[in-house]
Amino acid sequence: MQRPKVDQEELFKQVNMIFDEIQQNGDLAVKKYSHFFDRVDLETLLVDEQAIQDAADKVGKALQEAIKLAKRNIEAFHTEQLEIKKMVETTPGIHCWRESRAIERVGIYVPGGTAPLFSTVLMLGVPAAIAGCREIVLCTPPNPEGKVHPAILFAAELAGISRIYAVGGIQAIGAMTFGTESIPKVDKIFGPGNQYVTAAKQVAQNFDVAIDMPAGPSELLVIADQTSNAAYVAADLLSQAEHGPDSQVILLSDNNDIINAINQEIQQQIKTLPRKEVAAQSLENSSAILLNSIEECVSFSNQYAPEHLILAVQDYEHFIPGISSAGSVFLGNYSCESAGDYATGTNHTLPTNGFARNYSGVSLDSFVKKITFQHVSSEGLKRIGPAVEIMAEAEQLMAHKNAVSLRLRDVNDG
């Protein structure tokens, strides 16, 4: 059940030190730590408009069309989450309702150190635009030449992101937390990252900045029975293992033969992967576990609370009601986790490290605030006023009672 972790005390000590320096020195501190961590010397942090415009020419037509297809599906799924105002008459003369308001300024963090995750740009930028966020700021690590990957720039332009900064890591989160000469302070920070980025997001909350969730290194749990395809499951496990050396994948089954078959497939498939060294390190943190039944596998999964859960079992519908903690669930042999990472339309920014027990993945709701409204007529006040007076007096809040009593006297006097 344990995730791979670095020394938390030392980690948060480092984050707080960098935050203090950014708060005092702004861009200068951001550039200092970009040099220290990313080995890049930046003259400016903002990606210029020309680089964004030129990005499309550097992205092949096939990839452009794939990104556009993914955007359409993400847009379709998240647009359906727009809340329709529903007015409720709780008591005759009393009407209550709720309306959504976009968070005005949001910051998006897109990992780019070991792989340019342009798909995350769509997953966060598209719902932010649908919600109506006034300003969408994106930070992503540059390459050693100080450039941002053109696919990230293309996806950002497509998603309608306001400004893009070539900054990654703790320093990017710190910049969006405090604001610098170049990077604006935001109201809420979104995006996955390694344990350093995750820790920085958690510290940001101490400075009046909200975050989507503590989303750290990627993880996958697969439940497989004797009907699962060993090659498919192995490919799914490796697809998450290649994210980073601190990623973790878990295989659960009630059948020892299928576990052995999947492990053999993993050994064969990993040989052909360009990122096989990364995947191999991740597999050292990972486990294949034999349990007595698929029901036990589901119970274990609920306690582990995985970011991604694949049910590679014959009667997956039967087990859906029993799933209580997971970021996103993939059903059946053809629902590979990669499909959800890119193009089914669901969001791939999900809680990790067991936080699926108490957090949801990113949705349209993540980018809005819900404000309640109520209108009380004189008739409504007559109906609930006496109850409010009694409750306020019982709590010894006489000013609360008086606010009602004054009105009730006027209403009763006509």
Q: What are the C-alpha distances in Å from 348 to residues 128, 283, 325, 343?
A: 14, 22, 16, 10
Rg (CA), the chain: 25
Three-point CA angle 99, 326, 189, nearest 5°: 50
Beta carbons of 328 and 352 less than 8 angstroms apart: no
Cβ 173 vs Cβ 138: under 8 Å = no
Contact 309, 221 (CB under 8 A): yes
Q: How far apart are CA 36 and CA 188, in angstroms?
A: 26
CA distance 197 to 12: 11
Of the residues 78, 149, 243, 308, only one is catalytic, namely 308
Angstrom CA distances, 54 to 59, 149, 151, stand at 9, 11, 11
Determine whether 21 is an active site residue. Answer: no
146: which residues sit within 8 A by CB, 6+ positions away? 40, 41, 42, 43, 166
The DSSP string of 21-61 is HHHHHTHHHHHHHHHHHH----S-SBPPHHHHHHHHHHS-H
Distance CA 136, CA 159 (A): 10
The single-letter DSSP state of residue 320 is: G
405 CB-near residues (< 8 Å, 6+ apart): 385, 389
Active-site residue flag, 307: yes
Length of the chain measured in residues = 414
Catalytic residue, chosen from 265, 307, 337, 389, is: 307
Residues with Cβ within 8 Å of residue 189, at least 6 apart in sequence: 106, 107, 108, 109, 173, 176, 177, 201, 204, 209, 210, 211, 212
287 has which bridge partners? 250
Q: Judging by beta carbons within 10 Å of its beta carbon (0-12, 13-18, 19+), is residue 138 exposed, middle or buried?
A: buried
Catalytic residues: 307-308
